[in-house]
C-alpha cells in the first residue's frame, strides 16, 4: 500500500481513529520530494475527529500545511514533533491560526503513542 494513497488514508482512519482537539474544518497537507513528486492530501475534521481523508487538495481549506514527503511520513508514524518542525520552518502553515493552535497539541500528543499500523503502512515511502 502506497503512503498517502486513498487506500493508505482509509486504512489509517480505520485503524488509528485520529483526533485533533475539538476542531471542525478542513486541513490540506501538501508534500514534495516524494516518489510521485508533489502530493496533496485533504482531511475533514468534525468535532476533533478526522472523518475523511482523501488524496488531492481542496480549495478554501481552513489550514494548509506544507512539508517534505519524508517529514509527512515521520508525522504520520509519530516520529516527528509537529511543533518543532513548525518552529524550524520545515512544516509550514497558512490559514486559521486559532484552529492550528487547537490542532497542534493533539498532534503532539500522538508522539506519546507510537503507531505500528501507520509505520507499517508508511514503510513503502
CA–CA distance, 59 with 17 (Å, rounded to integer): 25
Cβ-contact 57, 27 below 8 angstroms: no
Residue 112 belongs to domain spanning: 6-120
Say which CATH number the domain at 111 has. Answer: 3.30.1050.10
Q: What are the pLDDT digits (tens) for 14-68?
A: 887 777 788 999 999 999 999 989 999 999 999 988 898 999 999 999 999 999 9
Query: Does 43 map to a domain?
Result: yes
> What is the reported pTM?
0.85
CA–CA distance, 33 with 26 (Å, rounded to integer): 23
Cell 499500523 locates to: 117
CA–CA distance, 119 with 26 (Å, rounded to integer): 24
Q: What are the pLDDT digits (tens) for 104-117?
A: 988 887 765 555 55
Amino acid at each position: 500500500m502506497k503512503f498517502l494513497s486513498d487506500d493508505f488514508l482509509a486504512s489509517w482512519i480505520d485503524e488509528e481513529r485520529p483526533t485533533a482537539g475539538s476542531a471542525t474544518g478542513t486541513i490540506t497537507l501538501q508534500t514534495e520530494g516524494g516518489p510521485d513528486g508533489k502530493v496533496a492530501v485533504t482531511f475533514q475534521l468534525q468535532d476533533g475527529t478526522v472523518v475523511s481523508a482523501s488524496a488531492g487538495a481542496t480549495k478554501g481549506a481552513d489550514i494548509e500545511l506544507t512539508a517534505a514527503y519524508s517529514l509527512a511520513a515521520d508525522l504520520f508514524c509519530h516520529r516527528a514533533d509537529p511543533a518543532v518542525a513548525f518552529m524550524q520552518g520545515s512544516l509550514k502553515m497558512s490559514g486559521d491560526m486559532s484552529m492550528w493552535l487547537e490542532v497542534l497539541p493533539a498532534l503532539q500528543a500522538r508522539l506519546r503513542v507510537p503507531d505500528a499500523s501507520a509505520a507499517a503502512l508508511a514503510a513503502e515511502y
